[in-house]
Amino acid sequence: MKFILSLALKNLTRYRRRTIITSIAIAAGLSIFIMLDALLLGMEQESERNIIWYETASAKIMTAENFEHMEFLSLKYPIDNPEKITSLLNDQGFRSTTRITFGAELLVYEDPFPADGSTQVKIAAVDPESDGDVYRFTEIIEKGKFLQKGEEGILLGSWLAEDLQADVGYPVTLLTRSRDGYYQTIDLEVTGIFNCPNPYVNRATALIPLETADYYLQMEGGVTEIAVSLPSSADPAEEAAAINQLLQQQGNPENAALGVYTWQELAYDYLQFAAAKQGGSKVILFLVFIIAAVGISNTMLMAVYERIRELGMMRALGMDDGKLRAAFILEAGGIGFIGSVFGVLIGSILTWYFVRRGIDFTFMMRDMDLGYRVAGVMYGTWNVWTIITAFIAGIVISMIIAVFPTRKVVRMEVADALHHQ
């Protein structure tokens, strides 16, 4: 075994240029794999965070009917006595806030706007005092101020404001339907603009005070949802089950119609999309690996064919086929090792850059919908497991690929191998 190992190592230096070129191919494949994986993971993690912080919260309490018709932003299935539930949650140490979410047409008129126009928006009517306990809108106000209790006003996402050419102090009108289905218009003044890292929110969401919505939409204290914040370390499904149990134990018959839905259930479409994207990304990563594998295969094929006579001699001297195969496999493993070391090194440097600096995709995300909830700079995330996997895979795949060309030589008659031209 010592001889085989020594021979494999010496053969690596024998064709130095070829070893280097193949190692570079492996290193390039692995570094791209590590970097892409870090970026994708970073985008997924940031998307999930931005969904929880700006869309779904960790979990929501809603009526089952409202959950079923969630995409219609309907006001027909509200929670009528949310205070009892929020006080129960507060007693149990859960941070929560109430919201009325509905769809509206946002109308603007010439002067101060450059032209008349309208756009469909999603309105979140929030409790200014408790919304910050669950969501993060208070931290992303770019202009003006956050909503205040007892004051009317509307906050626009910065991309929405940019599209409308709106500014703080501008009047807008919301055209929507009340809880009973009657048309209602609400005139409001823009009191602030928030710059949300979640493009879905930044592009088409506006916030108004809960009191305003309650009054104009005749909600009579009812809300469409109670959003709950959970620690990031908590298991949302377990916590949702615990909250559900609390609700059912409260003794309020109205609670029987309520459900507690985790962010994963609320953002089901996004998760489906992310899973599909992951599949697509894996195909790309697989192709990168194939390119590296072809490089190794070609190198090993040439190495084997150039040494057929030498291999014939070794077999003539009585070297077992298994040991011969092992020598080539170890040689390929050596190339894989060199490539993997450099691949991991370069991949880690690239990942470090993307973790620290990120890559600015604002120009693309502004007008395109990639599905991810990342608006501008995309940051990578370290994934040690991927780095270890890539390192091992680089070596193992190289070794596996070497099996095929070696097998052909081993099958040759020794005499034929010795006289091979």
Partner 1 sequence: MISINNISKDYHTGDTVVHALKKVSFEISQGEFLSIAGPSGSGKTTLLNILGCIDSFDTGIYSFEGEEIAGKTRKELARFRRENVGFIFQTFNLIPVLTAFENVSFALSLLQVDERDLKARTMSILDEVGLTGMEHRRPTELSGGQQQRVAIARALVKDPKIVLADEPTANLDSANGKAILDLMRTLNRKYRTTYLFSTHDPMVMDFASRLVSLHDGEIVEDVRRN
- Binding footprint of partner 1 on the chain (CB under 8 A): 2-3, 6-7, 10-11, 13-14, 309-310, 312-321, 323, 413-415, 418
SS3 content of the chain, % helix, strand, coil (to 5): 60, 20, 25
Nearest distance in Å: CB 16, partner 1? 11
Q: What is the CA radius of gyration of the chain?
A: 31
CB nearer partner 1, residue 316 or residue 368: 316
How many alpha carbons lie under 13 Å from residue 90 in its C-beta half-sphere?
A: 11
Q: How many CB atoms lie within 10 A of CB 192?
A: 19
Nearest distance in Å: CB 20, partner 1? 16
Structure tokens at 214: 């309650």
The one-letter code for the residue type at 262 is: T
* Straight-line distance from the first to the last Cα atom of the chain, in angstroms, rounded to the nearest whole number: 29
- Contact between residue 28 and residue 340 where contact means Cβ atoms under 8 Å apart: no
CB nearer partner 1, residue 128 or residue 312: 312
Nearest distance in Å: CB 324, partner 1? 10
CB nearer partner 1, residue 6 or residue 87: 6
CB nearer partner 1, residue 309 or residue 357: 309
CB nearer partner 1, residue 256 or residue 317: 317
CB nearer partner 1, residue 378 or residue 409: 409
Which among 156, 213, 136, 138 is positioned nearest to 179, based on CA atoms?
213
CB nearer partner 1, residue 303 or residue 387: 303
Nearest distance in Å: CB 401, partner 1? 22
Residue with tokens 């608006």: 375
Nearest distance in Å: CB 372, partner 1? 52
Nearest distance in Å: CB 291, partner 1? 29
Exposure string for 402-418, b = 16+ CB within 10 A, e = fewer: beebbeebbeeeeeebb
- Contact between residue 131 and residue 188 where contact means Cβ atoms under 8 Å apart: no
Nearest distance in Å: CB 332, partner 1? 16
d(CA 133, CA 229): 7
